[in-house]
Structure 1
Amino acid sequence: MPFKCVAFDVDGTLLDTVKPDLMSLQKVIREETGQTPSLEELRPLLGIPGVTALEQLGLPDPQAAFDKWAAYVREYDHLITVFPGIWEVLDELRDRGVTLGLVTSRCRSELDRDVTRLGLLQYFRAVVCADDTERHKPDPDPLLKLLADTGMNPGDVLYIGDTIYDSQCARAAGVKFALALWGTMDPAIPCDYRLAHPAELLPLCRPAAEA
Protein backbone atom coordinates (compact mmCIF):
# COMPACT_ATOMS: atom_id res chain seq x y z
CA MET A 1 0.00 0.00 0.00
CA PRO A 2 1.57 3.33 -1.03
CA PHE A 3 2.38 5.77 1.76
CA LYS A 4 0.08 8.78 2.17
CA CYS A 5 2.51 10.76 4.32
CA VAL A 6 6.27 11.22 4.11
CA ALA A 7 8.09 12.73 7.09
CA PHE A 8 11.65 13.96 6.75
CA ASP A 9 14.47 14.51 9.17
CA VAL A 10 16.37 17.74 8.37
CA ASP A 11 20.13 17.41 8.88
CA GLY A 12 21.66 14.71 6.73
CA THR A 13 18.35 14.15 4.94
CA LEU A 14 17.10 17.43 3.49
CA LEU A 15 20.14 19.56 4.23
CA ASP A 16 23.82 18.75 4.01
CA THR A 17 24.89 20.40 7.28
CA VAL A 18 27.47 17.96 8.63
CA LYS A 19 30.59 20.00 8.01
CA PRO A 20 29.29 23.34 9.44
CA ASP A 21 27.69 21.60 12.43
CA LEU A 22 30.83 19.69 13.31
CA MET A 23 33.29 22.52 12.68
CA SER A 24 31.32 24.88 14.92
CA LEU A 25 30.90 22.21 17.63
CA GLN A 26 34.63 21.51 17.51
CA LYS A 27 35.31 25.22 18.02
CA VAL A 28 33.04 25.34 21.09
CA ILE A 29 34.66 22.29 22.67
CA ARG A 30 38.14 23.70 22.07
CA GLU A 31 37.18 26.97 23.79
CA GLU A 32 35.36 25.28 26.67
CA THR A 33 37.79 22.44 27.42
CA GLY A 34 41.04 23.08 25.58
CA GLN A 35 40.56 19.77 23.77
CA THR A 36 40.10 19.41 19.99
CA PRO A 37 38.30 16.16 19.17
CA SER A 38 38.28 15.18 15.51
CA LEU A 39 35.21 15.80 13.38
CA GLU A 40 34.79 12.04 13.04
CA GLU A 41 34.74 11.62 16.84
CA LEU A 42 31.98 14.23 17.07
CA ARG A 43 29.84 12.86 14.23
CA PRO A 44 27.79 10.43 16.44
CA LEU A 45 26.49 13.41 18.45
CA LEU A 46 24.52 14.73 15.51
CA GLY A 47 20.88 13.68 15.29
CA ILE A 48 20.03 14.34 18.94
CA PRO A 49 19.12 17.71 20.52
CA GLY A 50 22.15 19.97 20.78
CA VAL A 51 21.95 20.54 24.52
CA THR A 52 21.73 16.77 25.06
CA ALA A 53 24.84 16.26 22.95
CA LEU A 54 26.75 18.82 25.00
CA GLU A 55 25.55 17.20 28.23
CA GLN A 56 26.96 13.90 26.97
CA LEU A 57 30.30 15.64 26.44
CA GLY A 58 30.27 16.64 30.11
CA LEU A 59 30.42 20.42 29.59
CA PRO A 60 29.64 22.29 32.82
CA ASP A 61 27.00 24.59 31.28
CA PRO A 62 25.48 22.78 28.26
CA GLN A 63 22.91 25.50 27.55
CA ALA A 64 25.52 28.25 27.42
CA ALA A 65 27.72 26.07 25.21
CA PHE A 66 24.74 25.36 22.96
CA ASP A 67 24.03 29.07 22.56
CA LYS A 68 27.65 29.56 21.56
CA TRP A 69 27.42 26.63 19.12
CA ALA A 70 24.29 28.11 17.53
CA ALA A 71 26.10 31.42 17.08
CA TYR A 72 29.25 29.86 15.65
CA VAL A 73 27.41 27.69 13.13
CA ARG A 74 26.27 30.86 11.39
CA GLU A 75 29.88 31.43 10.39
CA TYR A 76 29.53 28.36 8.18
CA ASP A 77 26.05 29.03 6.74
CA HIS A 78 27.56 29.32 3.28
CA LEU A 79 28.46 25.61 3.43
CA ILE A 80 24.86 24.45 4.03
CA THR A 81 23.17 23.08 0.91
CA VAL A 82 19.99 21.23 -0.02
CA PHE A 83 20.84 17.71 -1.17
CA PRO A 84 20.55 17.17 -4.95
CA GLY A 85 17.10 15.91 -5.96
CA ILE A 86 15.25 17.12 -2.85
CA TRP A 87 13.49 20.07 -4.51
CA GLU A 88 12.19 17.95 -7.38
CA VAL A 89 10.92 15.20 -5.07
CA LEU A 90 9.16 17.65 -2.76
CA ASP A 91 7.45 19.26 -5.76
CA GLU A 92 6.31 15.90 -7.07
CA LEU A 93 5.06 14.63 -3.71
CA ARG A 94 3.13 17.85 -3.12
CA ASP A 95 1.58 17.61 -6.60
CA ARG A 96 0.43 14.07 -5.79
CA GLY A 97 -1.27 15.27 -2.62
CA VAL A 98 1.08 13.37 -0.32
CA THR A 99 1.13 14.88 3.17
CA LEU A 100 4.63 16.10 4.01
CA GLY A 101 6.05 16.48 7.49
CA LEU A 102 9.26 17.36 9.30
CA VAL A 103 10.42 15.56 12.43
CA THR A 104 13.71 17.00 13.64
CA SER A 105 15.88 17.26 16.73
CA ARG A 106 16.40 20.94 15.97
CA CYS A 107 14.61 23.46 18.13
CA ARG A 108 12.26 25.87 16.35
CA SER A 109 14.79 28.71 16.14
CA GLU A 110 17.39 26.39 14.58
CA LEU A 111 14.82 25.23 12.05
CA ASP A 112 13.98 28.78 11.06
CA ARG A 113 17.65 29.61 10.62
CA ASP A 114 18.10 27.26 7.67
CA VAL A 115 14.88 25.53 6.57
CA THR A 116 12.84 28.71 6.44
CA ARG A 117 15.72 30.75 5.03
CA LEU A 118 16.20 28.30 2.18
CA GLY A 119 12.48 28.22 1.33
CA LEU A 120 11.77 24.61 2.29
CA LEU A 121 9.18 25.16 5.01
CA GLN A 122 6.41 25.89 2.51
CA TYR A 123 6.17 22.19 1.63
CA PHE A 124 5.39 20.83 5.08
CA ARG A 125 1.97 20.51 6.66
CA ALA A 126 3.22 19.23 10.02
CA VAL A 127 6.47 20.22 11.72
CA VAL A 128 7.71 18.63 14.96
CA CYS A 129 10.80 20.17 16.59
CA ALA A 130 12.64 19.38 19.82
CA ASP A 131 10.59 22.11 21.53
CA ASP A 132 7.36 20.23 20.83
CA THR A 133 7.88 17.05 22.87
CA GLU A 134 9.32 16.24 26.28
CA ARG A 135 11.14 13.20 24.96
CA HIS A 136 13.14 13.20 21.75
CA LYS A 137 14.51 10.74 19.23
CA PRO A 138 15.19 7.82 19.68
CA ASP A 139 11.95 7.88 21.75
CA PRO A 140 8.81 7.67 19.59
CA ASP A 141 7.20 10.87 20.87
CA PRO A 142 8.17 13.15 17.92
CA LEU A 143 6.64 10.77 15.37
CA LEU A 144 3.64 10.11 17.60
CA LYS A 145 3.02 13.87 17.63
CA LEU A 146 3.25 13.93 13.85
CA LEU A 147 0.63 11.17 13.70
CA ALA A 148 -1.63 13.12 16.04
CA ASP A 149 -1.16 16.37 14.11
CA THR A 150 -1.87 14.81 10.71
CA GLY A 151 -4.51 12.25 11.72
CA MET A 152 -2.48 9.55 9.99
CA ASN A 153 -2.14 5.93 11.10
CA PRO A 154 1.39 4.55 11.55
CA GLY A 155 1.00 2.45 8.41
CA ASP A 156 0.29 5.57 6.35
CA VAL A 157 3.64 7.17 7.16
CA LEU A 158 7.18 6.72 5.89
CA TYR A 159 9.95 8.44 7.86
CA ILE A 160 13.18 9.38 6.05
CA GLY A 161 16.34 9.89 8.10
CA ASP A 162 20.07 9.32 8.28
CA THR A 163 20.89 8.26 11.86
CA ILE A 164 20.30 5.35 14.19
CA TYR A 165 18.17 7.69 16.32
CA ASP A 166 15.82 8.22 13.37
CA SER A 167 15.58 4.48 12.82
CA GLN A 168 14.87 3.75 16.49
CA CYS A 169 12.27 6.51 16.70
CA ALA A 170 10.41 5.13 13.69
CA ARG A 171 10.48 1.56 14.96
CA ALA A 172 9.21 2.62 18.39
CA ALA A 173 6.35 4.56 16.78
CA GLY A 174 5.38 1.70 14.48
CA VAL A 175 6.33 3.72 11.38
CA LYS A 176 8.31 2.39 8.41
CA PHE A 177 11.79 3.88 8.05
CA ALA A 178 13.81 4.71 4.94
CA LEU A 179 17.53 5.37 5.27
CA ALA A 180 18.82 8.35 3.29
CA LEU A 181 22.00 6.88 1.89
CA TRP A 182 22.86 10.24 0.34
CA GLY A 183 23.36 11.70 3.84
CA THR A 184 24.05 8.91 6.29
CA MET A 185 27.45 8.08 7.71
CA ASP A 186 26.36 4.50 8.46
CA PRO A 187 24.68 2.58 5.61
CA ALA A 188 24.18 -0.43 7.91
CA ILE A 189 21.56 1.31 10.07
CA PRO A 190 18.45 -0.92 10.36
CA CYS A 191 15.70 0.22 8.00
CA ASP A 192 12.80 -0.91 5.86
CA TYR A 193 14.12 0.81 2.73
CA ARG A 194 17.55 1.99 1.62
CA LEU A 195 17.36 4.91 -0.76
CA ALA A 196 20.38 5.94 -2.82
CA HIS A 197 18.67 9.07 -4.20
CA PRO A 198 15.62 11.11 -3.10
CA ALA A 199 13.79 10.14 -6.33
CA GLU A 200 13.64 6.54 -5.08
CA LEU A 201 10.96 7.75 -2.67
CA LEU A 202 8.45 8.27 -5.44
CA PRO A 203 7.57 4.61 -6.16
CA LEU A 204 6.80 4.17 -2.44
CA CYS A 205 4.20 6.93 -2.36
CA ARG A 206 0.75 7.11 -3.82
CA PRO A 207 0.74 7.97 -7.53
CA ALA A 208 -0.78 11.14 -8.93
CA ALA A 209 -3.94 9.27 -10.00
CA GLU A 210 -4.73 8.57 -6.36
CA ALA A 211 -3.97 12.08 -5.13
Structure 2
Amino acid sequence: MQPDVTGSVSDKPLVPTDMPSPRAVVFDWDNTLVDTWPVIHASFETTLKAMGHEPWTLEQTKDRVSKSLRDAFPALFGDRWEEARDIYYGAFEETHLDALKPLENALAVLEYLQGMDLPMALVSNKTGRYLRREVAHLEWNGYFRSVVGAGDAVRDKPDPEALLMALAPMELALGPDIWFIGDSRSDLELAHNAGCTGILVHPDPKRAKTAFSDCPPRSQVANLDQLTYVLKTVG
Protein backbone atom coordinates (compact mmCIF):
# COMPACT_ATOMS: atom_id res chain seq x y z
CA MET A 1 0.00 0.00 0.00
CA GLN A 2 1.41 3.35 -1.01
CA PRO A 3 1.67 6.04 1.66
CA ASP A 4 -0.33 9.23 1.55
CA VAL A 5 2.01 11.81 0.00
CA THR A 6 -0.62 14.49 -0.56
CA GLY A 7 0.04 16.51 2.57
CA SER A 8 1.94 19.78 2.63
CA VAL A 9 5.49 19.68 1.33
CA SER A 10 6.09 23.36 2.07
CA ASP A 11 8.03 22.60 5.28
CA LYS A 12 9.13 18.99 5.65
CA PRO A 13 8.15 16.22 3.24
CA LEU A 14 6.44 13.07 4.41
CA VAL A 15 8.84 10.14 4.62
CA PRO A 16 7.33 6.66 5.06
CA THR A 17 8.81 4.81 8.01
CA ASP A 18 9.35 1.70 5.86
CA MET A 19 11.11 3.54 3.03
CA PRO A 20 14.28 1.59 2.14
CA SER A 21 17.69 3.22 2.28
CA PRO A 22 19.09 3.72 -1.21
CA ARG A 23 21.78 1.48 -2.66
CA ALA A 24 21.96 3.81 -5.66
CA VAL A 25 20.22 7.04 -6.67
CA VAL A 26 19.16 7.60 -10.27
CA PHE A 27 18.05 11.04 -11.38
CA ASP A 28 16.02 12.38 -14.22
CA TRP A 29 17.73 15.43 -15.73
CA ASP A 30 15.37 18.04 -17.20
CA ASN A 31 13.63 20.05 -14.50
CA THR A 32 14.81 17.66 -11.81
CA LEU A 33 18.44 18.79 -11.62
CA VAL A 34 18.47 21.55 -14.23
CA ASP A 35 15.95 24.16 -15.38
CA THR A 36 15.34 23.55 -19.07
CA TRP A 37 11.64 24.38 -19.49
CA PRO A 38 12.31 27.73 -21.25
CA VAL A 39 14.43 26.03 -23.95
CA ILE A 40 12.09 23.05 -24.34
CA HIS A 41 9.05 25.33 -24.57
CA ALA A 42 10.66 27.66 -27.12
CA SER A 43 11.80 24.70 -29.24
CA PHE A 44 8.30 23.22 -29.18
CA GLU A 45 6.79 26.58 -30.07
CA THR A 46 9.04 26.85 -33.13
CA THR A 47 8.23 23.28 -34.15
CA LEU A 48 4.48 23.51 -33.67
CA LYS A 49 4.24 26.75 -35.63
CA ALA A 50 6.37 25.36 -38.47
CA MET A 51 4.17 22.26 -38.63
CA GLY A 52 0.94 24.29 -38.73
CA HIS A 53 -0.12 23.54 -35.16
CA GLU A 54 -1.35 25.93 -32.50
CA PRO A 55 1.56 26.68 -30.12
CA TRP A 56 1.26 25.57 -26.52
CA THR A 57 1.42 27.69 -23.41
CA LEU A 58 4.30 27.04 -21.03
CA GLU A 59 1.95 25.22 -18.65
CA GLN A 60 0.70 23.02 -21.49
CA THR A 61 4.30 22.19 -22.39
CA LYS A 62 5.02 21.20 -18.80
CA ASP A 63 1.94 18.97 -18.72
CA ARG A 64 2.46 17.36 -22.12
CA VAL A 65 6.21 16.82 -22.40
CA SER A 66 7.40 13.67 -20.68
CA LYS A 67 8.05 11.02 -23.33
CA SER A 68 11.14 10.86 -25.49
CA LEU A 69 10.99 12.52 -28.88
CA ARG A 70 10.98 9.21 -30.75
CA ASP A 71 7.95 8.10 -28.73
CA ALA A 72 6.06 11.41 -28.70
CA PHE A 73 6.55 12.93 -32.16
CA PRO A 74 4.88 10.21 -34.31
CA ALA A 75 1.68 10.70 -32.30
CA LEU A 76 1.93 14.48 -32.53
CA PHE A 77 2.92 14.85 -36.17
CA GLY A 78 2.08 11.58 -37.88
CA ASP A 79 3.99 10.81 -41.06
CA ARG A 80 5.79 14.17 -40.83
CA TRP A 81 7.31 13.45 -37.44
CA GLU A 82 10.88 13.24 -38.76
CA GLU A 83 10.51 16.68 -40.36
CA ALA A 84 9.25 18.00 -37.03
CA ARG A 85 12.15 16.29 -35.25
CA ASP A 86 14.70 18.10 -37.42
CA ILE A 87 13.01 21.46 -36.80
CA TYR A 88 12.95 20.83 -33.05
CA TYR A 89 16.60 19.78 -32.94
CA GLY A 90 17.62 22.83 -34.97
CA ALA A 91 15.87 25.20 -32.57
CA PHE A 92 17.08 23.33 -29.50
CA GLU A 93 20.75 23.21 -30.51
CA GLU A 94 20.92 27.00 -30.86
CA THR A 95 20.36 27.75 -27.18
CA HIS A 96 20.34 24.68 -24.93
CA LEU A 97 23.88 25.02 -23.56
CA ASP A 98 23.84 28.79 -23.10
CA ALA A 99 20.50 28.65 -21.28
CA LEU A 100 21.32 25.64 -19.10
CA LYS A 101 20.88 26.41 -15.39
CA PRO A 102 21.22 24.05 -12.42
CA LEU A 103 18.25 24.09 -10.09
CA GLU A 104 18.79 25.47 -6.62
CA ASN A 105 20.64 23.01 -4.36
CA ALA A 106 21.20 20.54 -7.23
CA LEU A 107 24.96 20.58 -6.83
CA ALA A 108 24.64 20.38 -3.04
CA VAL A 109 22.55 17.20 -3.34
CA LEU A 110 25.06 15.60 -5.71
CA GLU A 111 27.93 16.46 -3.40
CA TYR A 112 26.02 15.11 -0.40
CA LEU A 113 25.37 11.80 -2.14
CA GLN A 114 28.95 11.61 -3.33
CA GLY A 115 30.06 12.15 0.25
CA MET A 116 27.84 9.23 1.31
CA ASP A 117 29.62 7.11 -1.33
CA LEU A 118 26.27 6.36 -2.98
CA PRO A 119 26.53 5.63 -6.71
CA MET A 120 24.50 7.93 -8.94
CA ALA A 121 23.28 7.75 -12.52
CA LEU A 122 21.15 9.72 -14.94
CA VAL A 123 18.25 8.36 -17.01
CA SER A 124 16.59 10.97 -19.17
CA ASN A 125 14.23 11.16 -22.13
CA LYS A 126 16.45 13.87 -23.56
CA THR A 127 18.32 12.57 -26.62
CA GLY A 128 21.53 10.99 -25.37
CA ARG A 129 24.02 13.16 -27.24
CA TYR A 130 22.41 16.37 -25.95
CA LEU A 131 22.18 15.00 -22.42
CA ARG A 132 25.89 14.17 -22.33
CA ARG A 133 26.81 17.57 -23.78
CA GLU A 134 24.85 19.28 -21.02
CA VAL A 135 26.38 17.18 -18.25
CA ALA A 136 29.84 17.91 -19.64
CA HIS A 137 29.02 21.63 -20.00
CA LEU A 138 28.29 21.82 -16.26
CA GLU A 139 31.38 19.67 -15.54
CA TRP A 140 29.22 17.18 -13.63
CA ASN A 141 30.49 13.98 -15.27
CA GLY A 142 32.32 12.97 -12.10
CA TYR A 143 29.10 12.56 -10.15
CA PHE A 144 27.48 9.93 -12.36
CA ARG A 145 28.54 6.33 -12.96
CA SER A 146 26.41 6.27 -16.12
CA VAL A 147 24.39 8.69 -18.24
CA VAL A 148 21.58 7.20 -20.34
CA GLY A 149 19.50 9.34 -22.65
CA ALA A 150 16.76 8.73 -25.17
CA GLY A 151 17.86 6.43 -27.96
CA ASP A 152 20.68 4.85 -25.96
CA ALA A 153 18.63 1.85 -24.82
CA VAL A 154 16.32 -0.27 -26.95
CA ARG A 155 13.38 1.52 -25.31
CA ASP A 156 13.15 4.82 -23.47
CA LYS A 157 11.44 5.73 -20.19
CA PRO A 158 9.08 4.58 -18.80
CA ASP A 159 10.33 1.19 -19.99
CA PRO A 160 12.82 -0.25 -17.44
CA GLU A 161 15.33 -0.99 -20.23
CA ALA A 162 16.94 2.44 -19.89
CA LEU A 163 17.29 2.05 -16.13
CA LEU A 164 18.79 -1.42 -16.53
CA MET A 165 21.38 0.06 -18.88
CA ALA A 166 22.23 2.74 -16.30
CA LEU A 167 22.63 0.20 -13.49
CA ALA A 168 24.73 -2.26 -15.50
CA PRO A 169 28.11 -0.51 -14.93
CA MET A 170 27.39 -0.60 -11.19
CA GLU A 171 26.43 -4.29 -11.32
CA LEU A 172 23.18 -3.49 -9.50
CA ALA A 173 19.77 -5.11 -9.96
CA LEU A 174 16.37 -3.44 -9.87
CA GLY A 175 14.65 -3.23 -6.51
CA PRO A 176 13.16 -0.90 -3.89
CA ASP A 177 16.63 0.16 -2.75
CA ILE A 178 17.17 1.85 -6.13
CA TRP A 179 15.73 5.34 -5.85
CA PHE A 180 14.51 7.09 -8.99
CA ILE A 181 14.03 10.82 -8.62
CA GLY A 182 12.15 12.89 -11.17
CA ASP A 183 9.46 15.44 -11.88
CA SER A 184 7.26 13.83 -14.54
CA ARG A 185 4.92 10.97 -15.30
CA SER A 186 7.53 8.99 -17.22
CA ASP A 187 9.78 9.07 -14.14
CA LEU A 188 7.14 7.70 -11.79
CA GLU A 189 5.91 5.18 -14.34
CA LEU A 190 9.48 3.94 -14.71
CA ALA A 191 9.91 3.57 -10.96
CA HIS A 192 6.58 1.72 -10.78
CA ASN A 193 7.39 -0.54 -13.74
CA ALA A 194 10.85 -1.35 -12.38
CA GLY A 195 9.81 -1.96 -8.77
CA CYS A 196 12.02 0.89 -7.56
CA THR A 197 11.39 3.69 -5.10
CA GLY A 198 10.05 6.72 -6.95
CA ILE A 199 10.42 10.21 -5.52
CA LEU A 200 8.56 13.12 -7.08
CA VAL A 201 10.15 16.57 -7.17
CA HIS A 202 7.25 19.01 -7.53
CA PRO A 203 6.12 22.04 -5.49
CA ASP A 204 2.38 21.27 -5.71
CA PRO A 205 1.52 19.12 -2.66
CA LYS A 206 -1.49 17.61 -4.46
CA ARG A 207 0.41 16.67 -7.61
CA ALA A 208 1.17 13.09 -6.57
CA LYS A 209 -2.49 12.20 -6.01
CA THR A 210 -4.09 14.20 -8.82
CA ALA A 211 -1.68 13.42 -11.65
CA PHE A 212 0.02 10.17 -10.65
CA SER A 213 -2.61 8.18 -8.78
CA ASP A 214 -1.80 5.09 -10.86
CA CYS A 215 1.94 5.29 -10.18
CA PRO A 216 2.28 7.22 -6.91
CA PRO A 217 5.70 8.13 -5.51
CA ARG A 218 6.91 6.89 -2.17
CA SER A 219 7.62 10.48 -1.21
CA GLN A 220 7.17 13.93 -2.71
CA VAL A 221 9.58 16.82 -2.20
CA ALA A 222 8.97 20.41 -3.15
CA ASN A 223 12.61 21.02 -4.04
CA LEU A 224 16.06 19.49 -3.87
CA ASP A 225 16.76 20.84 -0.41
CA GLN A 226 13.88 18.68 0.80
CA LEU A 227 15.40 15.72 -1.00
CA THR A 228 18.47 16.07 1.22
CA TYR A 229 16.12 15.99 4.21
CA VAL A 230 14.59 12.73 2.97
CA LEU A 231 18.04 11.21 2.47
CA LYS A 232 19.12 12.18 5.98
CA THR A 233 15.85 10.89 7.46
CA VAL A 234 16.10 7.47 5.83
CA GLY A 235 19.82 7.25 6.63
TM-score bracket for the superposition, by shorter chain length: 0.7 to 0.9
Please state if 1:136 is matched with 2:162.
no
1:65-123 Cα shifts (integer Å, max 9, x gaps): 22221221244434331100011111111111010110111222111332221222221
Partners of 1:49 and 1:130 lie apart in 2 by: 6
Q: Offset of 1:203 from its aligned partner?
A: 4.8
Task: Spell out the pairing of 1:1-211 with structure 2 (5 A cutoff).
Answer: 1-33=20-52, 35-77=54-96, 78-153=98-173, 154-181=175-202, 186-188=207-209, 189=212, 190-205=216-231
Q: How many residues align?
A: 208
Contact persistence 1:12–1:184 (CA under 8 A):
no
**C-alpha RMSD over aligned residues:** 2.6
Give the distance between the partners of 1:2 and 1:114, measured in 2 at CA. 29
Query: Which deviations, in whole Å up to 9, do the C-alpha atoms of 1:131-164 show, x marking residues without a partner?
Result: 2222222222222333333222413210000111
Q: CA deviation at 1:47?
A: 2.1
| Structure 2 residues not aligned, in runs of 5+ | 1-19
Flag the 1:44–1:54 CA change in 2: closer, same or farther, 3 A: farther
Q: CA deviation at 1:182?
A: 5.1
Q: CA deviation at 1:59?
A: 4.4
**Letter matched to residue 164 of structure 2:** L
Amino acid at match of 1:41: Q
Q: Percent identity?
A: 25
Provide the rounded CA distance (Å) in 2 between the counterparts of 1:14 and 1:51: 23
Indicate conservation of the 8 Å contact 2:26/2:121, yes or no: yes
Looking at structure 2, the residues matched to 104 and 183 of structure 1 have their Cα atoms a distance apart, in angstroms, of: 22
In 2 relative to 1, CA 64–103 (structure 1 residues): closer, same or farther, beyond 3 Å?
A: same
Aligned counterparts of 2:92 and 2:205: Cα–Cα separation in 1: 20
Q: State the alpha-carbon separation in 1 of the partners of residues 88 and 193 from structure 2.
A: 30
**Cα gap change, 1:126/1:144 in structure 2, threshold over 3 Å: closer, same or farther?**
same
| Alpha-carbon separation, structure 2, partners of 1:103 and 1:174 | 16
Shift of 1:205: 4.2
Once the two structures are TM-superposed, the CA of residue 12 in structure 1 deviates from its matched residue by 1.3
Q: Is the 8 A contact 2:205 2:222 kept in 1?
A: no
Structure 1 regions of 5+ residues with no counterpart? Answer: none
